[in-house]
Amino acid sequence: MINNPMNSSFRVSSCVNNRLLCLLLSFLVGGAATAQNQPSAGVSATVGENGSGTVSLTAKGVLPEPPLFFSADASAVAKITSTGVSQQINLSLDVLQGKPELISLGIAGQGEVVSVKGASLTDWAVRTSADGKNRFLDIKPVQLEGKPKPRKLAMIVTVRQKIENLPATLQLFTITPGKATGFAMKLKIDDGGFTTRVTQVKGMTPLKDDAGYHSTAANSLTLQVMQSGASPADIELRNASITGSIDEKLHSATLVYTATAYVTEKGKIDFMSGKAAVSSIQEDAAYALSLTSSGNYQLEFDSPGQYPVRLEMIARIDNAAKGWVGWKTVDFSTPQGAVVPVELSGLAGNVKFAESLSVHPRQQGGAWRGFLPATGHCFVAWKTGRKAGEGKLAFTSRGLTDVTVGAGLLRQVSQIDLKVLQGKINNLALQMNGPGEVLDVQGTNIAGWSVEDGQNGTRVLRLRLSVPLEDGGTIKVRSQQAIGKFPVTATPLRLTPVDVLRHSGYVRLSNAGAVRLETAGVQGMMQLSPTQYPGGQIKARQIFAYRYPSAEYAWQVQADQILPEVSLNQVLIYEQLESDRVIRATVELDIREAPLREWEMKIPDGYAVASLKGAEIADYVVGTSVENGQRDVKVLFRKAIAGRQLVMIRLEKNAPAKAGVWKLPVISYPGVKAVRGHLGIATAAGWRVTPGKVDKLKETPLSYFPAKDPSLQQSYRLRETGWSAEMKIAAREQSVQADVFHLY
C-alpha cells in the first residue's frame, strides 16, 4: 500500500524458499536502479527463521511545481481632455494556483503606462512581442523568503494618451486577458464636455444606463473625439440604440429605435431604408415622418433644439436572401454616424450568427448584443448552430491596398494578412467587388489561382494552396484597370476574404505623373495622415490614406490631367545684313504644374531654321504647311522637363539689304500663359533704322538691352502678345573722315 507520494514504501510478505527470494531481490534492485523519475531509492530485505521474508522498497523525489493560474478583474475610467486621455485602472489579481513570480496581462490600443502602484508589487514593465504587434504588462509581485506568496493582489495602473489635434480618432488603452485563466474588465468614458463617438467595438458589450462597456475576452474600442459644437451637422441623432424581439414564426422582427436629435437648423434627415417599415411613432413627437418616392423614410424638424426620438419598426425576415441560402436575414439601414448598440431577444441559445458580417451579436444573459457599424447598415444573418465538437474555421484578415493612378491606367497592389484563430484554411476565396484585371498573385503556400464568376454578377478569386494554413499567411495581389480620357471617375477593386470573421485594413491613393486626384463617395472609412499608413513610405505629389474598420466600405477616385503651365522671357534681335535677314531669339521657359515633353512654336514663313539649341533638346521638326503666314516648329526634349529651360533659336532669310519699311515678323508660342522680354533691331554698317508704326511695345534705352551688340540701333520692352512693329531703313550718305599729319 502507498500512503504518501513523497515518501512511500510497501511491503510484500510471502513464504518462499531462498532461491525464489534471491530472484525477487535481483528484479527489484534492477528496477529501482533504472527508474528515472525517482532520484533517490532504497531496497531492504529480511528473512525469518521459518523461511518467510520481508522486502521494503523506498522511493524519494520532488514533485514538479504546479503551473500558474490566475484571474484578473479591471475597472477603468477614461477621462477626455483637449490634450489627451488619462486613465486610472483598478486592477485586482487572484492567484488560483502556482507561484506568482511573473504575471502577464495583454494590452490593446494606444497609450503609455505611466505608473503601476500596489502594496504587493516589486516591479513592472511593458513588453512588446518579437513581431512588434502585441504588447504585454508584466507584473512581478513581492517575493519574501520564509513567508507565503501573496494570493490576492491589488494595484492601480495610470495610463496617458496624447491628442495632437481635434477632431481625433484613437484606439483607447484597454487590458486584455493575456495569460489569465479568468478575466473581466469594465470601461467607462468621461467625455469631459467633448463630443465623443464610438466608431468600432470588438469583444465588448454595452452596460445599461450608459454605465460603460464590459469585456471578458480580447477587446478593443475606437473612439472619435471632437470639440463640442464644432461644425456640427444640421441634424444629428446621438446616443442611438436598437432593441427588439425576433419572431421566426411570424417571419418578422419588432424593433424600437431610440435616440436624441440635436437640431441646429430645421430640415430633413434620411432615417431608414431597406426591408423594414415604421409601425408607430411616439406621442407629441417634435418631428414629422415622411416616406419618399423611393421608399425611404425621412424625419423633418421645424425648429432647432434637442428632441427625443422613439420609433417602433417591423423588419422582414428573409429565409433565402441572395447569397445567403439557408440563413435567416434582416436587412435595413439607419443614419450613418457612431456605432449603435443592438439588443435582440426571442432567439434560442444554439443560434449561430454569420461571423463575416459587421453586425455579429454575442449572447449575454438572455439577449444577443452587438453593434451596427458606422455606415448604419444593419445586415444580420443567423441559423441554428452546429453541434459541439464539429469545429469550424475561424480567421481574421487585414488588408493593405496601394492604388496608383497614372495616364490611362489605375494600378493596384493589395496585401492581405491572414490570422487563423481556429481550424485550418484548406481553400481560400477572395470576393472581387469592382472592375479590374488580376495580373499576379503571390503569397504563403500559393500553388495557383483563377478568377470565377460569382453570385449577383460578382467575381471570385480562388486560390489553391499547396499546404493548409494553420497559423496564417500573407497574400499579395497585383491588378490594374484601364481608365478613359480625363477627367474620369474610377472605382478601385475591393478584395474581401470569403467567410472571414473580421476584415479591416488601410487604403492609400497616390498619383503618377501629371494627374490630379480627388476621392468621392467615401463610406465606412476614416481619413488618416499619409505617415500613419503601415506600409512603406512613397514619394508622390498627392497621397491620400484611409482606414476601414470593417469590410463594408466604398470609395471612388476622381482623376484629371494636369496640363503644363508655361511662361517665357525672350530676347529677340532682328538684324539686316548685306545679303540676309536674321532673327536671333534667346527664350527662357518657365514650366510649372506638370513636366513638358514637347513644345511648339510658330516661325514666319520664308525663314529657315539655321540652329535650335538647348541643354535638353533632342530634336526638332519644322512643319511644311503654312497658316496665316507662319509654320509650325515642334521641339522634342530628351525627357520630361520642368522648371527653367533655355532655348536658343536662329532664323535666316536670303534678302539683299535695301531701303524701305521692314515689318518685323513675329514668332508666336501657342498655349503659353505669359510672354515677356526685350526686342532689338540691328543693321549692317551704312544703314540707319528709325521707328515707324509700333503697337504694344515700349521703347527703352540701348544701354538697358540685356544682350550687348554694337550694331544695335533700336530697343523695346514687350509685356504681352499681339505686338507689331514697322522699321524704316535708310541708307547713310557716304562720307570720308581722315586724320592728316603734315611735316614740313
Radius of gyration (C-alpha) of the chain in whole angstroms: 43
pLDDT at 36 over 80: no
Distance between CA atoms of 325 and 347, rounded to whole angstroms?
19
* pTM tops 0.85: no
What are the DSSP calls for 467-525, one per residue? EEESSEEEEEEEEEEE--SSSEEE---EEEETT-SEEEEEEEEEE-SSEEEEEEEEES-
Contact 89, 161 (CB under 8 A): no
Question: Which residue would you say has higher pLDDT here, 305 or 234?
Answer: 305
pLDDT at 25: 45
Beta strands across the sheet bearing 459-469: 446-453, 459-469, 425-433, 494-497
Quote the percentage of the chain above a pLDDT of 90. Answer: 37
| Per-residue pLDDT tens digits for 645-700 | 999 999 999 988 888 999 999 999 998 989 999 999 999 888 899 999 999 999 99
Question: Which residue would you say has higher pLDDT here, 630 or 349?
Answer: 630
Distance between CA atoms of 213 and 198, rounded to whole angstroms?
11
Q: Which three cell numbers stand for residue 101?
A: 513570480
Nearest to 612 by CA among 589, 580, 635: 635
Distance between CA atoms of 160 and 272, rounded to whole angstroms?
39
Give the three-class secondary structure for 18: helix
Report the chain's mean pLDDT, rounded to a whole number: 84
Q: Which three cell numbers stand for residue 506?
A: 488601410
Q: In whole angstroms, what separates CA 26 from the centre of its chain?
A: 76
Contact 553, 524 (CB under 8 A): yes
How would residue 32 be classed by pLDDT, with cut points 50, 70 and 90? very low
Sign of CA dihedral 98, 99, 101, 107: positive
Residues 6+ positions from 499 with CB-CB distance below 8 Å: 355, 356, 393
Of the candidate ranges 42-56, 210-224, 520-534, the one whose mean pLDDT is the lowest: 42-56
When pLDDT is averaged across residues 127-133 and rounded to a whole number, the result is: 85
Distance between CA atoms of 213 and 736, rounded to whole angstroms?
110
Q: Which three cell numbers stand for residue 491?
A: 472605382
pLDDT at 339: 73
Of the candidate ranges 245-254, 491-500, 550-559, 595-604, the one whose mean pLDDT is the lowest: 245-254
Beta strands across the sheet bearing 687-695: 660-663, 724-731, 687-695
pLDDT at 8 over 60: no
